[in-house]
Chain A
Amino acid sequence: MTSTFLARYGGEIATLTIEHIWLTAAAMLFSASIAVPAGIWLTRAPRWASPILGIANVLQTIPSLAMFGFLLPLPWLGERAARIAIVALTAYALLPILRNTYAGIRGIDPSVIEVARALGLTDTQRLFKLELPLAASFILAGLRTATVTCIGIATIAAAVGAGGLGEFIFRGVASVDNRLVLAGAVPAALLALAADGVLGMIERRLKVVAQ
């Protein structure tokens, strides 16, 4: 029975998995390219840290279904469901990446930063030679948390027609077919585990280098 199920849905599972990966990866890319520079900026202007982190925090408390709903009527976004999904996932990923970038850089041994300044390293040199490498494992840990969370949230994106593995889950729920629910949930869970494992591995590597 399992084999006939797979024969029937295997192709679709593969397509939706790829769609799911694409949605999450695009959102992570956007989110990291906003949150990492923003986190670096916060270390330069720490008085902004608590309001900005607060906003990111609030974004994360918005229930995901509501977030997708809010974005639906917006002009450019509403045209394509995938756009909505990516914007919403980007928003959810901001907090962990932002927080870890900020905390990672702030947590560097102050004497290291002191000497870097006193020996005449420029701000750019300090950032790329010291701060980013030393905070890298932290930043990656933030990215890992964000990715795992977003792989889960991305299943809700199917509610607005953005595709991904949530399609199966919604269809399964609607037709009371647990096999369909599992056809969405199991690959999504495996994806999350795989992302967690791979990013965790890179993170440990970076930590060894930074010791």
Chain B
Amino acid sequence: MSAAIEFRAVSVAAPQGRLLLENISFSVDSGSMTVLLGRSGSGKTTLLRTVNRMVVPTQGEVLVDGTPNSGADLIPLRRGIGYVIQETGLFPHFTVERNVGIVLEAEGHPRARRIERSHDLLAAVGLDPAVYALRRPHQLSGGQRQRVGLARALAADPGVLLMDEPFGALDPLTRSDMQDMLRDLLSRFRKTVLLVTHDLNEALYLGDRVALLSEGRLVAALTPHQFLASDRPDIKTYIDAFQRGEKVARR
């Protein structure tokens, strides 16, 4: 399989000189999902944002579909990469259907086509367009808003999808529903996904590979199975932190 995203010795320094990311190299196979795992401040969001050049590496380069993204025009590069964040960033004055179709609108597609596409995608993320298309974001629940955000990210049919803590603000049950919806969706539309989370369960459930970051460095990028079986101390610490409650309760 070819790599859809490849990080080559990527380093990012803060303006004051502190390194946020240090010499990160790994690649994400086309059509697979890699989950970036790590505690707050480990650099996972920064790494994600180098892919669509919201953050520019101070050293190294990021290749998207085999070409360095530094050479590409920023606007087409970004339109070709879906982007979903925890806060959703839905445009509050737009209807749901217009939110979903915004990239197509930016590209100048006719309204009828935008609406058709937007309704298809709403249905794909489990929102009945007849009910939700004309609502505004503030009339939706948190989970519904995330669904709209995901539909919007898919509208221009990007090959790559970046998701930054997409389900981070949702309760565990809604979160599970969303994870199932995402898995189901990705089995139908082939996308290369980079997803940031600090939730181990989410990483193991969704990822084809789990990349653990710690203080700006890549600890390891393993399959979920290898990850759980690993005896590396920093991986074990992370796993133990998630199993504490269960361990205590079983005693």
Contacts and interface: CB of A to CB of B under 8 A. Distances in A.
Contacts of B136: 211
A120 B103 contact: yes
Contacts of B89: 109, 111-116
> Which of B80, B89, B90, B138 gathers most chain A CB within 10 Å?
B89
Contact of A119 (B92, B93, B103, B138): B103
A125 interface: yes
A59 interface: no
A114 B81 CA distance: 14
B88 A111 contact: yes
A112 B80 CA distance: 19
Nearest to B74: A120
B106 A122 contact: yes
Contacts of A118: 52, 54, 78, 81, 83, 162
Contacts of A134: 92-93
A83 to B, nearest CB: 40
Interface residues of B, number: 29
Interface of A: 109, 111-122, 125, 129-130, 133-134, 209-211
Contacts, number: 67
B215 interface: no
A211 B140 CA distance: 13
Contact of B87 (A111, A125, A129, A211): A111
B91 interface: yes
A134 B102 CA distance: 16
A111 B149 CA distance: 12
Given A119-B79, A119-B152, A125 B93 contact: no
B92 A115 contact: no
Nearest to A122: B75
B78 A112 contact: no
20 contacts: A109-B92, A111-B87, A111-B89, A112-B89, A112-B90, A112-B91, A114-B89, A116-B89, A117-B54, A118-B81, A118-B162, A119-B83, A120-B75, A120-B80, A121-B106, A122-B75, A129-B102, A130-B91, A134-B92, A210-B93
Nearest to A210: B93
Contact of A209 (B81, B93, B102, B138): B93
Interface string B43-81: 000000000101000000000000000000011111111
Contacts of A119: 78-79, 83, 102-103, 106, 152-153
A211 B94 CA distance: 9
Given A114-B54, A115-B85, A117-B54, 10 more contacts: A109-B89, A111-B87, A114-B85, A115-B88, A115-B149, A120-B75, A122-B106, A125-B106, A210-B93, A211-B93
Contacts of A209: 93
B83 A115 contact: yes
A211 B95 CA distance: 11
A130 B92 CA distance: 9
B76 A120 contact: yes
Contacts of B78: 117-120
Nearest to B86: A111
A66 B203 CA distance: 69
A75 to B, nearest CB: 47
Nearest to B103: A119
Contacts of B102: 119, 121, 129
B201 to A, nearest CB: 25
5 shortest A-B CB distances, which residue pairs? A115-B89, A120-B78, A120-B79, A111-B87, A111-B89
Nearest to A134: B93
B54 A120 contact: no
A117 B91 CA distance: 12
A28 B9 CA distance: 56
Nearest to A112: B89
A85 B149 CA distance: 51
A120 B106 CA distance: 8
A134 B90 CA distance: 12
A134 B136 CA distance: 14
